[in-house]
Structure 1
Amino acid sequence: MFNQDDFGIRPQDPFNVFQPDKLSVTQLEVLNRLITPLIGTQAIGVYHYLSQFANSSVNHSTSHYVIMSELKINLGDFREEMNRLEAIGLIKTYVKHGKENSHFVYELIQPPTPKQFFNDPMLSVYLYKEVDKKRFQELKHYFERQQMDLSNYQEVTRNFTDVFKVPNQAFDAIQKNDIPQTASYKGINLDRVHFDFETLYQLLSNHFVSSEIVEEQAKGLITQLAVLYGITPEGMKGLILKSLTSGQRISYEELRKQARSFYAIEHENQLPALESKVDIQPSPVQKQEVVELTQAPQTPEEFESWFELMDSTSPIDMLASWSKSEPTLKQKYMIEDLMVREQLPFGVINILLQYVMLNNDMQLPKSYIQEIASNWKKKELASAEQAYHHVKEMKKAEKQRKTKQNNNQRNFKNYGQQVASKEITPEWLIRGDHKKRRGKQNKPQTDSGDQSLAQDRAEFLKHLNETWKEDDE
């Protein structure tokens, strides 16, 4: 069994879907009416969508590009919906890692029967929590079939040997076949949950109750109730004692009622709700990769490992480690557009995004990125190392261009100064300058002019005074 931390899906990774039988009308009703309130319409939609690829030839695989394009979601959202389907027991995922890609197989599990669903303490309680009491009763009543009372009737059905002859010889060849068996619903997988049954046995023995009453079926129910309601072995002991029949057997129905009542008392008559984990911490390997993603390589060995990391890391993960936050939905769509439309490898896209961020104050202008991506595709850049060296050449060429531009501007300025010095000065400017210089050298003329100006001013003021007096009269 693979953990989510053990693999990552890439758009180019192929997948196949395995589903022995198509769903019946009743199973579709279970999906639509009972399971949809638990995991949502998007997860159910992914389940229905994958069924179209069921039982195709192993040699004819489909890439995850198709899922991204047709469902209009990114691989992170697809993986999140798959997590819900796997957790509820509707899908099993298998993976085989190769040098170039990872091949996935998705096995679609038949939904539970209505009886299985309502007898499952976890599924039924979570549904009751999601819908109100009235709606829960309506859903339950919908699947309850009115059975005819046959107590006054006698069965007269004929069996096989009454109608057909029994063959005298068996044929092994006829009995052999390769028809796959339909995977039946096994309920919610709690294999990784540990419940201390040894302590429970010891507690029961103190009350002279044998551990043999806890059969395999009872173990499964006890584990479910312990997970659902958070019950310890000490608490479970008390519930079991209250659920014993006169024959010293556990009444499963009574145990469920006792557990539900126990939880309701502790939580003010509230039932547990189905909640997704939001605080999943990265594994130590993932943490190390995040550090390496954000550290600049120095030595040739570091560059080599850094290039390998760039080639194998999803651009969305790289962007998250660089910005130390989850990329926005627009950024995810933009990245997937680059992968789908331009068919650029991870390493090339990672270098492209880093180059753009470093040159645009950590911004990611879409049109600018698309223009560069189109250009890099034409140059057939196929790895992070090729993209890195291409960026270095671009920076070198840009530096040379700026140096040449600065030299041209400096030469143009010097040339302008030389031209200005060789221009012919107009004669009127020369005469004006000459008069100014001559006026500065001949101070007596300047003083005489000042005296004449003062005399004229005095006469003008005298004339004004006389005019005002005439007006006053």
Structure 2
Amino acid sequence: MVALFRELQPIDGYRIRLSQPFSNYDRQLLTLFYQPLIGSEAMSLFMTLWADAEQVEEREYNHYHLMNLLTMPLAPIFEARISLEAIGLMRTYVKTEGDVRTFLYELSPPLDAKAFFEDPLLSTFLFSKIGEQAYRNLRSRFTIANAELDEFKEVSRTFLDVYKPVTHRIDIDEGDKHAVIGRRNAEGVPFEQDEFDFNLLRSGLSEQMVPQAALASVSKELISKLAFLYSLTPLDMQKVVMMALDEKLELPEARLRKAAADFYKMNTSKTPPVLQKTFTQPPTPTVEQKEMTREEELIYYLENTAPIDMLRDLNGKEPLPVDVQLAERLVNTHELPVGVVNVLLQFVFIRNDGKITNNYVERIASHWMNKKVSNAREALEFSRKEHDKYMQWKNEEKKPATYNRKPVREGMVPEWFYKKEQQEKSEEHVAPETEKKQKESTEDNADIEERRRKLRERLSRRSKGVN
């Protein structure tokens, strides 16, 4: 299992680049051909990046921006990204400068319909996802009927029929080293073919039975993809090649693909093969995670949840825009880790009767930044250790503002009035006030731990599928 925090963090920046301008035809191919293969989350990620990349000015974002746009935690965003990379729709580059990591996401166009159906991996994968009838309907939708063209004769002119060559020399400035953006052919699925033993394949095929020219006419990539898709060894592929030869001892690619599929049906299964991902980020805790304590489950939740989702879970409804903006400012401007922001917002929400005030939050945030609090565990420890101090700050926030008033002439009020008032206040409030503060501190600590306990229980029930 890949450690997510090593691969990607919410604070990591990213920029987007289109390898070439995309068209409406590309959008159709993405929706109809690729979406069944990569899923809705990867499709949403691609379309979001595409929309951001078409801005006039190139901008840099961080991944917390993506978490908010897609309303997804970081783990499924990362899984969606590697799905796009594997299918050939994205290339990812990274640059690290000190502690700052920046990604460059280059979006690639999809294969056109012809190339897609000729690719054995993609076409079989799509067939297994949508079924035979839907697959045939989709194929016929992108098939051009050429039968009626047989009744016509082409009379189109060529370039030389219309234009004459230039008779005088024109100096062309070739000093500009900047590359000109042009339409590139889609490269398709990035596929390594080193694992297939081509020498063993050739050694079992005699020149009399299979001419070397026939075998050389088929790309190594196609042979490797067919072997991977149908789990064929070099010895199995020898039999497939023999089955695919035509009467002229030639090896057309279409016959090779059909022979591989027939061999699979005869020896393995009647149903088409299904591709499985080698990496998946589980939506629920793994076996090791299920053995964690409730405290560790809470920390795991706080570290891997976007603040907007944490506020939604905590409050049971959509958070206010002002609270969302505050969370974004803490992450984007002050660069606090997401886990620390979650603990901070949770603490203030619980201690301040469901209200999140900017000044109070930013005062605690400043304290944690000075103390270099870097994760949810440290933030939880600070919220408990410095609880009394933070509650004192909260009470200071609630004190009414004092205004400058015109002094009243003291001669109008006798001196005994002040002495009596001060004595009464001293008798009535000194002892109860001390008692009240001690009681509030004890009750506050107990209450915040109780609220956190209930949140942990709710998260634990959700992970087990219980509402």
Q: What is the CA distance between 1:84 and its match in structure 2?
A: 1.3
2:80 counterpart SS class: helix
- 1:108-147 C-alpha deviation (Å, 9 max, x unpaired): 1111111011111111111111112211111111111222
TM-score of the pair, normalised by structure 2: 0.64
Is 1:109–1:184's contact at 8 Å kept on the other side of the alignment?
Answer: no
Counterpart among 328, 347, 365 of residue 340 in structure 1:
328
Q: 1:244 to 1:381 in 2, by over 3 A?
A: same
Q: What is the CA distance between 1:228 and its match in structure 2?
A: 0.6
Aligned to 1:234: 235
Q: 1:348 to 1:327 in 2, by over 3 A?
A: closer
- Higher mean C-alpha displacement, 109-118 vs 337-346: 337-346
Q: What is the CA distance between 1:376 and its match in structure 2?
A: 2.6
1-structure distance, mates of 2:174, 2:221:
39
For 1:66-465, what aligned pairs fall within 5 Å after superposition? 66-151=65-150, 153-168=152-167, 169-173=169-173, 178-191=179-192, 194-205=195-206, 209-215=210-216, 217-277=218-278, 323=296, 327=300, 332-334=305-307, 340-343=328-331, 345=335, 349=339, 367-368=349-350, 375-379=363-367, 381=369, 384=372, 395=385
Alignment coverage as a number of residue pairs:
358
Letter in 2 for 1:233: P
Q: Percent identity?
A: 24
2-structure distance, mates of 1:214, 1:383:
68
Q: 1:221 to 1:112 in 2, by over 3 A?
A: same
2-structure distance, mates of 1:27, 1:91:
14
Q: 1:329 to 1:71 in 2, by over 3 A?
A: farther
2-structure distance, mates of 1:195, 1:59:
42
2-structure distance, mates of 1:149, 1:171:
48
2-structure distance, mates of 1:351, 1:366:
11
1-structure distance, mates of 2:279, 2:197:
27
Larger Rg: 1
2-structure distance, mates of 1:259, 1:276:
22
2-structure distance, mates of 1:230, 1:321:
44
Q: 1:187 to 1:217 in 2, by over 3 A?
A: farther
2-structure distance, mates of 1:30, 1:97:
35
2-structure distance, mates of 1:131, 1:389:
48
Structure 2 unmatched ranges of 5 or more: 283-287, 311-325, 390-433, 436-467
Q: 1:131 to 1:329 in 2, by over 3 A?
A: farther
Structure 1 unmatched ranges of 5 or more: 282-290, 292-315, 357-363, 400-407, 410-473
2-structure distance, mates of 1:325, 1:266:
50
TM-score of the pair, normalised by structure 1: 0.63
Q: What is the CA distance between 1:159 and its match in structure 2?
A: 2.2
1-structure distance, mates of 2:270, 2:293:
42
2-structure distance, mates of 1:386, 1:186:
42
1-structure distance, mates of 2:72, 2:303:
11
Q: What is the CA distance between 1:220 and its match in structure 2?
A: 0.8
2-structure distance, mates of 1:321, 1:240:
59
Letter in 2 for 1:106: Y
Q: 1:396 to 1:178 in 2, by over 3 A?
A: closer
CA RMSD of aligned residues (A): 4.4
Is 2:79–2:280's contact at 8 Å kept on the other side of the alignment?
Answer: no
- 1:21-70 C-alpha deviation (Å, 9 max, x unpaired): 33323222211111111112221221111112226688742222321222
Q: What is the CA distance between 1:397 and its match in structure 2?
A: 8.9
Answering whether residue 26 of structure 2 is matched by residue 27 of structure 1, we say yes
1:37 counterpart SS class: helix
Q: 1:59 to 1:107 in 2, by over 3 A?
A: closer
1:173 counterpart SS class: coil
2-structure distance, mates of 1:382, 1:335:
25
Letter in 1 for 2:233: T
Is 1:21–1:182's contact at 8 Å kept on the other side of the alignment?
Answer: yes
Letter in 1 for 2:328: V
